[in-house]
């Protein structure tokens, strides 16, 4: 069949059409030389709104900063800039309260929000927001901005655990308990010493999170697809508008680098390991065999068949 490809696997034959069953023009940020839309299977593969919609507010903040950059470069009049920012701010408020979301025909969060903007202000004004910006520098910037915010929230949570350990240690300065190796009694230790054995690694985790934030505080905005644009947009001002310390020194690295995500994954895994160690001590201490601590009912669960159980 013309336009079809035959794929043979384990004696089974599947026909994969390269012809689009439907057009997906809405919510797409690319087109140009293409006469038709992607095949349905290709479209389904490329859709990412089910996980990147969480970047919607950051995307809109980036669009507001980008509109300001276009205005500073003389590419938006005062009137157009005011109208565009007003529409973006209203769209941001609607997204924040859950009044609008992506449609099934949207490829990603960027296309969905641009479609929603154009529906409100029309293509003549809304379409101009795309000037001088690529999804490449857009997503690289948004990931760093979102990640920095989440890192800071996590840092506060971890600090809260450290403070709780400190408070418990101060409240039991003279309490002695058996220290164990291989779960066998080894040496007497202070309870405060044991508790703070969990505080110190968490403090190192906080230092890692803060160090990661420094490397994530560089904005890729202005890199465009890979080598910037000739529109005279100032990436340093946009970086400041979005809360970054500076813009990236190399545009190709700015759009291509994802090591900040890998680094965050390691730090988050280490936080999880350190919290798991603390949790395991608590789990052991609240058993009847040890009886070193009691958990409030608010932090316990029960059994569906054994009413005497109180599980941490």
Q: Band of the pLDDT at 31, cuts 50, 70, 90?
A: low
CATH fold label, 49-131: Fumarase C; Chain B, domain 1 (1.10.275)
Helix (H) or strand (E) holding 16: strand 12-17
Is 71 annotated as catalytic? Answer: no
Q: Which of 182, 230, 276, 304 is catalytic?
A: 182
**Distance (Å, rounded) from C-alpha 94 to C-alpha 120?**
12
Beta-carbon contacts of 21 under 8 Å, excluding residues fewer than 6 positions away, are 39, 40
Judge whether residue 24 has pLDDT over 60: no
The per-residue pLDDT for range 56-73, each reduced to its tens digit, is 999 999 999 999 999 999
Average pLDDT over residues 74-88: 99
Size of the chain in residues: 312
**Distance (Å, rounded) from C-alpha 272 to C-alpha 279?**
10
Judge whether residue 26 has pLDDT over 70: no
Q: Give the pLDDT score at 82.
A: 99
Q: Do 67 and 113 meet the contact criterion of CB atoms below 8 Å apart?
A: no
Of 125, 141, 107, which Cα lies nearest the Cα of 28? 107
What angle (nearest 5°) sits at the alpha carbon of residue 208, between those of residues 280 and 163?
A: 55
What backbone phi and psi angles, to 5 degrees, belong to 190? -80, 140
Q: Do 276 and 161 meet the contact criterion of CB atoms below 8 Å apart?
A: no
The per-residue pLDDT for range 140-149, each reduced to its tens digit, is 999 999 999 9
Q: Give the pLDDT score at 222.
A: 97
The per-residue pLDDT for range 214-237, each reduced to its tens digit, is 999 999 999 999 999 999 999 999
Please give the DSSP secondary-structure letter assigned to residue 230: S
Q: Where are the alpha helices (DSSP H) in the chain?
A: 40-46, 49-52, 56-72, 78-96, 109-121, 123-126, 135-171, 191-216, 235-241, 251-256, 259-285
Average pLDDT over residues 13-26: 42
Q: Give the start-to-end residue ranges of the domains of the chain.
A: 49-131, 136-236+249-299
The CA-atom distances, in angstroms, between 285 and each of 151, 178, 183 are: 31, 12, 12
Q: Do 207 and 106 meet the contact criterion of CB atoms below 8 Å apart?
A: no
pTM score, whole prediction: 0.85
The per-residue pLDDT for range 240-256, each reduced to its tens digit, is 999 999 999 999 999 99
Of 119, 131, 125, 149, which Cα lies nearest the Cα of 57? 149
Q: Give the pLDDT score at 37.
A: 75
Is 193 annotated as catalytic? Answer: no
The per-residue pLDDT for range 94-125, each reduced to its tens digit, is 999 999 999 999 999 999 999 999 999 999 99
Q: Which of 265, 279, 300, 303 is catalytic?
A: 303
Domain 136-236+249-299 has CATH 1.20.200.10: yes
């Amino acid at each position: 069949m013309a336009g079809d490809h035959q794929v043979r696997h384990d004696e089974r034959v599947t026909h994969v059409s390269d012809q689009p069953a439907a057009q997906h023009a809405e919510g797409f940020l690319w087109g140009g030389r293409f006469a038709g839309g992607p095949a349905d299977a290709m479209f389904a593969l490329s859709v990412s709104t089910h996980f990147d919609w969480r970047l919607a507010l950051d995307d809109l903040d980036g669009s507001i900063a980008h509109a300001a950059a276009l205005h500073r470069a003389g590419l938006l009049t005062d009137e157009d800039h005011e109208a565009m920012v007003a529409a973006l701010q209203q769209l941001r408020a609607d997204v924040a309260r859950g009044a609008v979301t992506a449609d099934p025909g949207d490829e990603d969060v960027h296309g969905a929000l641009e479609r929603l903007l154009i529906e409100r202000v029309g293509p003549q004004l809304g379409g101009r927001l795309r000037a001088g910006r690529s999804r490449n520098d857009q997503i690289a910037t948004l990931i760093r901005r979102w990640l920095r915010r989440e890192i800071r929230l996590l840092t506060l949570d971890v600090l809260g655990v450290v403070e709780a350990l400190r408070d418990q240690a101060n409240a039991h300065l003279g309490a002695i308990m058996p220290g164990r190796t291989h779960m066998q009694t080894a040496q007497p230790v202070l309870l405060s010493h044991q508790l703070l054995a969990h505080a110190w690694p968490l403090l190192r985790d906080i230092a890692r999170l803060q160090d990661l934030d420094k490397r994530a505080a560089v904005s890729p905005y202005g890199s465009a697809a890979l080598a910037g644009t000739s529109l005279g947009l100032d990436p340093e001002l946009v970086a400041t508008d979005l809360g970054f310390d500076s813009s990236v020194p190399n545009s190709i690295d700015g759009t291509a680098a994802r090591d900040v995500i890998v680094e965050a994954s390691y730090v988050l895994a280490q936080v999880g390991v350190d919290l798991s160690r603390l949790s395991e001590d608590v789990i052991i201490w609240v058993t009847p065999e040890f009886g070193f601590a009691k958990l409030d009912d608010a932090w316990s669960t029960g059994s569906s068949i054994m009413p005497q159980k109180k599980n941490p």
